[in-house]
Amino acid sequence: MLTQKVFLFDFDGVIVDGMNEYWHSSLLACEKYLNSPHILFDQKFYKKVPDNFKEIRPWVKYGWEMVLIVHEIIKSENSLKNFDKSEFINKYHQNCQKILKDNFWIAEDIQKILDRSRQFQIDRDFKTWVNLHQPYFKVINFMEELKKRNIKTGIITTKGKIFAEKILKQLNIFPEFIFGYESGSKMKILEKLILTYEILGFIEDRKKTLIEIKQNEETSHIPCFLADWGYLKYSDRYNLSNEIILLKLDNLEDLLAI
């Protein structure tokens, strides 16, 4: 019988709002490391996250995809600013693959470029980089309350582990474990964790990820919660199965009854 209890969290969109950081880091990656002939830089890009980027963000699964989105938004010709956003979204995955193919890029290389951009900012001005992340304090308080009840906490994110750790340390959050994109898919991580832990819940803001968890025979018993405050598509809040619960920030404390 498993005696170690753990509650799991996604990171961006659940513990922190990293919208500003993703835009700035992806923009810097395009400017410093991508070497694309199709973009022309203007410092005004850094002043505000454009609505197009915010609206496409809920479709993103991996960090490297955001570098592609930024590239398309700031292109000197046929940019996403002028292109029909809904057309891009309707075939989001195919469009990301097309951008990679058209530019002879590899997803893993784009991820490394994004990581280099983050490390550059950390080395230059760590405080400014950290402050691009806005914490959800109610989630942090919930995590602290779990620890008081001897329930472990863990984070599974598609962000690089080293960067998630730096942010969490500044927020004085020290989960038992952090899995970044380097550890593989969230499903594979969960399949390993259930061998050791009783997972009391997983809070995630990507509906498709939760559906996949529930459809997997090995992980279907894990209680899944969709973070209402995260990067959700408009349709995500509706037509949820009974197995996935839409969770609001104000209702976090209700989970302590578990």
> What would the pLDDT profile of 63-90 be if each residue is shown by its tens digit?
999 999 999 999 988 788 766 788 899 9
pLDDT at 82: 61
Indicate the pairing of strand 4-9 with strand 197-204. Answer: parallel
What is the percentage of the chain residues whose pLDDT exceeds 90? Answer: 82
> How far apart are alpha carbons 210 and 214 in whole angstroms?
6
pLDDT at 145: 95
pLDDT at 167: 96
- Among 135, 124, 123, smallest CA distance to 170 is for 135
pLDDT: is 33 or 241 the higher one? 33
Question: Max Cα separation, the chain?
Answer: 60
> What would the pLDDT profile of 79-120 be if each residue is shown by its tens digit?
887 667 888 999 999 999 999 999 999 999 999 999 999 999
What is the percentage of the chain residues whose pLDDT exceeds 70? Answer: 98
Where in the chain are the domains? 4-17+133-257, 19-130
Question: In the numeric block, which tokens belong to residue 233?
Answer: 């598509």
pLDDT at 1: 54
Quickly state the pLDDT bin for 2 (edges 50, 70, 90): low
pLDDT at 230: 95
Provide the Cα torsion 86, 136, 206, 244; round to 10°.
-130
Global model pTM greater than 0.85: yes
pLDDT at 83: 66
CATH topology of domain 4-17+133-257: Rossmann fold (3.40.50)
* Distance in angstroms between the alpha carbons of the first and the last residue of the chain: 18
- Among 144, 118, 152, 181, smallest CA distance to 4 is for 152
DSSP 211: H
Question: In the numeric block, which tokens belong to residue 157?
Answer: 């994110």
